[in-house]
Amino acid sequence: MRKAFISPTKYVQGENELLNLGYFVKTFGEKALLIANQDDVNRVREKLEKTAAKFGVEFIETNFHGEASRVEASRLQELAKKESCDCIIGLGGGKAIDTAKVVAEGKNLIIVPTIVATDAPTSHSAVLYTEAGEFDDYAYFMQSPSVVLIDTTIIAQAPTRFLVSGMGDALSTYFEARATSRAFANVNAGLPCGAREGVCPPAKSTNTALALAKLCYETLLEDGYKAKEASDLNVVTPALENIIEANILLSGLGFESGGLAAIHAIHDGLTILHDAHGATHGEKVAFGVICQLILENAPSKELYEVLDFSLSIGLPVCLEDIGVKSITDEQLTEVAEKSCIPEESIHSMPFKVDVEQVKSAIKVADALGRDYKLRKQEK
């Protein structure tokens, strides 16, 4: 059996670590294309100026448009060529990071998250969206980022919603890795040449990936609430550091080498709902966790453990929590159909899943989540 595991070349996490960014740029050259929206650049400008001066490097700003689309990536690739940049930096949230991956095409890439809302930073894959913000496709590259650099003081200053959203994304890691392992399904780590059929032989997950995914879940349960409290106060604590690592490193390695299943497929289906566009990736994923647990008829103890955790930190447990106050049967069918297209990860479940099953799981997850939330509020 062929197995595969993939990871970034270097992961560095610590307080004020952004001051060392210039050192890593210097390993590639002297000029870096900085893909980040202007607000994120302004938040960290003082540190960028200090590290540029200290290490003698130059950052080329790009006025990133905010959507990880093919159109935006093409524009930035032309800019990188025009400016003769030696490396690419993706600084900010998931959209800037994924755009940087597309622009870099797997080479000389430094990822600097300013929020930990998704597990995108460590992976060799990117999620592409249309200009309108709907899910488009996945892109895969030859390798994971060269450097992932985390400044925990910056993360602590970010709105807590982003940290909680990242925990929503990380919450899916163990359950999807477990399902993929049980199904002996293929994982993205085995596709360094891209997702095209026949280019690279498929690979299964490793015990290492599943162990990391399980540790991710255990860390969330242990430190999630404490980390949220630290974030609310804009301070760095051991619990916050552990959750930053869980959101980015454990979840990133866990999903990519452990596999995706129904949760992220249902997330992709939910993106077609206009009312859900205000919810973050991780918030929609968190609801998808409940849907997958319903699909696989997970033990009640496990289901209610997830619900309790989600409610304790403010993650969605029903459709209304992601902005969808009502949904027609036609809309629900469209969500389920998109979740079940041939390319989707839902087919990595250890049993066959069809559109009607997904519709039923979403309905039950929504009703169960609403009821459980109401009962908790009444106590």
Catalytic sites, residue numbers:
169, 264, 267, 281
136 is in an annotated binding site: no
The answer to whether 129 is annotated as binding is: yes
| Rounded (10°) CA dihedral 260, 10, 206, 167 | -40
The letter for the amino acid at 14 is G
- Would you state the structure tokens that stand for residue 7, as one six-digit string? 């990871």
65 among annotated binding-site residues: no
Does 352 count as an annotated binding residue? Answer: no
User: Which residues of the chain form beta strands (DSSP E)?
Assistant: 10-14, 31-35, 58-61, 87-92, 109-113, 125-129, 135-140, 147-151
Residue 264 assigned to a binding site: yes
3 state DSSP class of 26: helix
Task: Tell whether 288 is in a known binding site.
Answer: no
Residue 115 counted as an annotated binding residue? no
- Is position 119 annotated in a ligand binding site? yes
Cβ(258)–Cβ(350) under 8 Å? no
Please indicate if the annotation marks 86 as binding a ligand.
no
Distance in angstroms (rounded) separating the CA atoms of residues 273 and 283:
14
Sheet holding 31-35, edge to edge: 10-14, 147-151, 109-113, 87-92, 31-35, 58-61
Q: Is 96 annotated as a binding residue?
A: yes
Residue where the block lists tokens 């993205």: 188
Q: Could you give phi then psi for residue 151, rounded to 5 degrees?
A: -100, 105
At 352, the amino acid letter reads K
Q: Is 52 annotated as a binding residue?
A: no
**Strands 135-140, 125-129: pairing kind:** antiparallel
Residues making up the annotated binding site are 94-98, 119, 123, 129, 169, 264, 281
Residues making up the annotated binding site for glycerol are 119, 169, 264, 281
Residues making up the annotated binding site for NAD(+) are 94-98, 123, 129
